[in-house]
């Protein structure tokens, strides 16, 4: 299964209210990398927990590895086929 559309749909559901983003870095194309939340929920963390995103350590510095590990182990979301 492709996980882009389920991730998009979940992110849409999570962001029905006010979204705040804190710029953290920039990628090699100078695009802003930010940590965003809605209703007190860290959007990255929630998507990683649900197996709809990965911890991209180049920018997160491992902030979400503790959330990705159980998702992998329990074969949640994108990890179902692994």
Structural domains of the chain in order of their starting residue, each with its CATH number: 4-81 (2.40.50.90)
The answer to whether residue 1 scores a pLDDT higher than 70 is no
Distance CA 16, CA 77 (A): 22
Average pLDDT, the chain: 94
Distance CA 3, CA 18 (A): 25
Q: Token digits for 66?
A: 């503790």
Q: Token digits for 34?
A: 């930010």
Residues 48-68: tens digit of each pLDDT: 999 999 999 999 999 999 999
The answer to whether residue 32 scores a pLDDT higher than 90 is yes
Percentage of residues in the chain having pLDDT higher than 70: 98
Residues in CB range of 28: below 8 A, 6 or more apart? none
The answer to whether residue 17 scores a pLDDT higher than 90 is no
Provide the whole-model pTM: 0.88
Q: Residues 81, 41, 59, CA angle at the centre, nearest 5°?
A: 65
DSSP 77: G
């Amino acid at each position: 299964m492709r996980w882009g559309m389920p991730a998009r749909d979940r992110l849409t559901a999570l962001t029905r209210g006010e979204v705040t983003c804190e710029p953290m870095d920039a990628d090699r194309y100078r695009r802003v990398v930010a940590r965003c939340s809605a209703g007190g929920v860290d959007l990255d963390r929630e998507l990683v927990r649900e197996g709809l995103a990965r911890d991209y350590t180049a920018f997160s510095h491992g902030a979400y590895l503790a959330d990705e590990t159980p998702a992998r182990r329990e074969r949640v979301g994108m990890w179902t086929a692994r």
